[in-house]
Amino acid sequence: MWLIHSLTLSGNYSIEATSTNKTLFTLTATAKKAQVKDTQCLTLTLNEVGQKGGTSSNCWEQ
């Protein structure tokens, strides 16, 4: 298992990458600073097959 944690350049999101093996992973963006005002989209997730998730299904632009 591995874990990588970083901040975006703007500091509006922390990004965490986790994996339990060599092919499966999940990226999680968690709102920080002023971005936390967008309470419907406090987290965004993306996995190795492109499946998008998060606090609300409306957070990802189509």
Task: Characterize 36-59 residue by residue with b for buried, 16 or more Cβ atoms within 10 angstroms of its Cβ, and e for exposed.
Answer: eeeeebbbbbbeeeeeeebbeeeb
pLDDT tens by residue, the chain, 62 residues? 777 889 999 999 999 999 988 899 999 999 999 999 999 999 999 999 999 999 987 888 74
- How many whole angstroms separate alpha carbon 3 and alpha carbon 12? 20
Six token digits for residue 49: 């097959």
- How many whole angstroms separate alpha carbon 38 and alpha carbon 50? 23
Domain count, the chain: 1
For residue 62, being part of any structural domain is answered with: no
pLDDT for residue 46: 95
For residue 29, being part of any structural domain is answered with: yes
pLDDT for residue 12: 93
For residue 61, being part of any structural domain is answered with: no
For residue 60, being part of any structural domain is answered with: no
For residue 34, being part of any structural domain is answered with: yes
Range of the domain at 45: 2-54
For residue 49, being part of any structural domain is answered with: yes
